């Protein structure tokens, strides 16, 4: 039997912002309930934030549901759902970004001019699990900088929300396959995610992973790294690019455009004032 057949498997959607349908006193229970409905028990959700401290707010509002706290993740045993904190950090000109897991709560990466410096921050200061989200500038940079590519653990080869962007998912898959052929020893993983901006989109697309090790914070992080770098079986992904997924993507894109217009002056100044960063 192969590695996957020998283990308990989990369905993981590692890219959702749980943002545009937030309500007062939102908590991890609703996230776990949605994960159970869409992916079943033994599921994993990555809640991604840029600088909003949304993960901490969710945790602070989770008063009636027991959980195990790993600093960069919480496990909800009654739901059998693991919620990971993801940090997405953009370059100073907003032209590219990286997604990192394993960074402790309330800590962020500083925005840099150079993509490689951001990857280095995440790798050296937090030993983070680093994902390359879809971005032609990022892919071009990684193709020409082997050291940075070596520190990246996986490429987001399918993002449900990006199904509204012509060829974006196809180009990401092509980039991943080219880099994996050229650098076989890097074991560059592939991830399928919902890319959603609302809790209701959690689990619309997912990646099948081996069960993660919850012994402690560092073991969890390293087991995530190992799991996403493994080659996936042919049926190890679920990709949803349905009309309803595309409609939600358009709706949330409009909401986010309005939100960023309100926040643009603040964002151009800094994303990290008053926050703990890896300097």
Asked if the structure places residue 137 within a domain, the reply is yes
Asked if the structure places residue 35 within a domain, the reply is yes
- CATH number for the domain spanning 140: value is 3.20.20
Predicted pLDDT at 251: 76
Asked if the structure places residue 4 within a domain, the reply is no
Sign of CA dihedral 72, 106, 134, 92: negative
**Interior CA angle at 98 toward 88 and 122, to 5°?**
90
Predicted pLDDT at 267: 46
Asked if the structure places residue 18 within a domain, the reply is yes
Predicted pLDDT at 271: 47
Predicted pLDDT at 270: 41
Predicted pLDDT at 275: 56
pLDDT by 10s per residue, the chain, length 279: 355 666 789 999 999 998 766 555 678 999 999 999 999 989 999 999 988 888 999 999 888 889 999 999 999 999 999 999 999 999 999 999 999 999 999 899 999 999 999 999 999 999 999 999 999 999 999 999 999 999 999 999 999 988 888 899 999 999 999 999 998 888 999 999 999 988 999 999 999 999 999 999 999 999 999 999 999 888 899 999 888 888 887 777 676 666 555 555 444 434 454 556 655
Number of domains within the chain: 1
Asked if the structure places residue 260 within a domain, the reply is yes
Asked if the structure places residue 20 within a domain, the reply is yes
Asked if the structure places residue 2 within a domain, the reply is no
Contact 222, 229 (CB under 8 A): no
Asked if the structure places residue 48 within a domain, the reply is yes
DSSP string, 30-93: HHHHHHHHHH-SSEEEEEEESSS-HHHHHHHT--SS--EE-SSEEEETTTTEEEEEEEEEE-TT
**Interior CA angle at 253 toward 270 and 89, to 5°?**
30
Q: Range of 228's domain? A: 9-277
Contact 13, 194 (CB under 8 A): yes
Predicted pLDDT at 276: 63
């Amino acid at each position: 039997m192969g590695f996957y057949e020998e283990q308990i498997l989990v369905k993981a959607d590692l890219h959702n912002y749980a943002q545009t349908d937030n309500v007062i006193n939102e908590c991890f229970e609703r996230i776990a309930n949605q994960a159970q409905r869409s992916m079943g028990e033994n599921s994993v959700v990555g809640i991604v934030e840029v600088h909003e401290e949304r993960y901490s707010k969710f945790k602070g509002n989770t008063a009636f549901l027991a959980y195990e706290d790993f600093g960069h993740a919480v496990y909800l045993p009654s739901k059998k759902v693991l919620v990971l904190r993801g940090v997405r950090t953009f370059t100073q000109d907003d032209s590219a970004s990286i997604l990192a897991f394993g960074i402790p709560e309330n800590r962020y990466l500083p925005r840099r001019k150079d993509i490689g410096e951001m990857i280095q921050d995440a790798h050296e200061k937090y030993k983070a699990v680093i994902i390359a989200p879809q971005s032609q500038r990022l892919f071009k940079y990684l193709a020409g900088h082997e050291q940075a590519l070596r520190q990246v653990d996986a490429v987001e080869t399918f993002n449900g929300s990006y199904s509204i962007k012509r060829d974006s998912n196809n180009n990401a898959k092509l980039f991943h396959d080219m880099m994996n052929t050229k650098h076989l020893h890097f074991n560059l993983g592939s991830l399928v995610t919902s890319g959603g901006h609302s809790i209701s989109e959690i689990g619309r697309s997912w990646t099948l992973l081996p069960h993660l090790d919850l012994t402690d914070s560092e073991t969890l992080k390293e087991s995530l790294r190992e799991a996403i770098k493994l080659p996936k079986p042919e049926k190890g992904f679920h990709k949803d690019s349905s009309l309803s997924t595309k409609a939600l993507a358009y709706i949330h894109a409009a909401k986010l455009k309005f939100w960023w217009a309100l926040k643009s002056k603040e964002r151009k100044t800094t994303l990290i004032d008053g926050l703990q960063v890896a300097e």
